[in-house]
């Protein structure tokens, strides 16, 4: 039991260090880390896309998949309109991606592209991310994770975010609905789920 606690503490510290490096733009997060709520490279989706495409080309041999990612990288470099980034081109490139299971054997490229689309407000993509996070939480080796509950909170948060996008049956708190980005809204939902479940767990223990 004591060793398990030490292992989880080490895993948590490593996770925190990775998040800091990614936020500073010193490390490209994996698709799995993005699914767990890690920040984008330098907290910038365009920078993350370019870094991801550059790294993917190292091993990618499928011509159609390579062409899709090339168009995605080009879309991420589209200029700004009225001083704000225009994400329409990126979403269009993501939806046009042709990535076969042969070209993306472990599914990490397709997962990353779906996460990008979700972060840009695509509701169907947000639902897919929620489902993927829930499944990943179920099959993970909980005893090897620093905080195995992170995927659970992300799954619940993406589900709540998708519901909020299409029109929830209940009014949402102002602070969440007014947050400018999908990442901020999802993180707010996840933090609230974690906080409330933690309180209940203490009360009923």
Those residues whose C-beta lies under 8 Å from the C-beta of residue 165, and which sit 6 or more positions away, are 121, 123, 126
Q: What is the rounded (10 degree) CA torsion for 179, 181, 184, 187? A: 120
Give yes or no for residue 25 having a pLDDT over 70: yes
- Give the mean model confidence (pLDDT) for residues 114-132: 96
The more confident residue out of 119 and 12 is 119
CB 50, CB 73: distance < 8 Å: yes
CA dist 76 → 49, 62, 69, 108 (Å): 7, 21, 11, 19
Segment holding 154, helix H or strand E: helix 150-166
Q: Is the pLDDT of residue 45 over 80?
A: yes
Average pLDDT over residues 168-193: 77
Tell me how crowded residue 155 is: count the other CB atoms within 10 A of its CB: 23
Taking residues 135-140, report their average pLDDT.
Answer: 93
69-113 pLDDT, tens digit per residue, is 999 999 999 865 555 567 999 999 999 999 999 999 999 999 999
Query: Distance between CA 154 and CA 191 in Å, rounded?
Result: 9
3-state secondary structure at position 100:
coil
Least confident of 13-17, 78-82, 196-200: 78-82
Mean of the pLDDT values across residues 164-192? 77
User: What percentage of the chain exceeds 70 in pLDDT?
Assistant: 89
DSSP 172-198: PPHHHHT-SSHHHHHHHHHHHHHHHHH
User: What average pLDDT does this structure show over 162-188?
Assistant: 76
Model-level pTM greater than 0.75? Answer: yes
Instruction: Tell me the per-residue pLDDT of 54-68, one tens digit each, with 9 for 90 and over.
Output: 999 988 999 999 999
More confident residue, 48 or 174: 48
Report whether 149 contacts 194 (CB < 8 A).
yes
Q: What are the CB-based long-range contacts (under 8 Å, 24+) for 59-62?
A: 60/103, 61/103, 62/100, 62/102, 62/103
Q: Name the average pLDDT for the chain.
A: 88
């Amino acid at each position: 039991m004591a060793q398990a606690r030490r292992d989880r503490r080490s895993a948590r510290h490593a996770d925190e260090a990775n998040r800091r490096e990614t936020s500073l733009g010193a490390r490209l997060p994996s698709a799995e880390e993005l699914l767990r709520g890690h920040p984008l490279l330098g907290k910038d989706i365009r920078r993350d896309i370019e870094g991801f495409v550059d790294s993917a080309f190292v091993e990618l041999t499928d011509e159609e998949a390579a062409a899709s990612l090339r168009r995605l990288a080009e879309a991420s470099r589209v200029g700004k309109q009225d001083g704000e980034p225009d994400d329409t081109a990126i979403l269009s490139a993501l939806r046009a991606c042709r990535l076969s299971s042969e070209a993306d054997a472990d599914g990490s490229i397709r997962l990353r592209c779906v996460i990008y689309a979700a972060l840009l407000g695509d509701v169907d993509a947000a639902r897919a991310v929620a489902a993927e996070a829930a499944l990943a939480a179920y099959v993970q080796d909980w005893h090897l994770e620093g905080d195995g509950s992170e995927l659970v909170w992300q799954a619940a948060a993406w589900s709540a975010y998708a519901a909020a996008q299409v029109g929830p049956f209940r009014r949402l708190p102002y602070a969440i609905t007014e947050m400018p980005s999908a990442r901020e809204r999802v993180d707010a939902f996840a933090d609230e789920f974690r906080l409330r479940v933690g309180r209940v767990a203490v009360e009923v223990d």
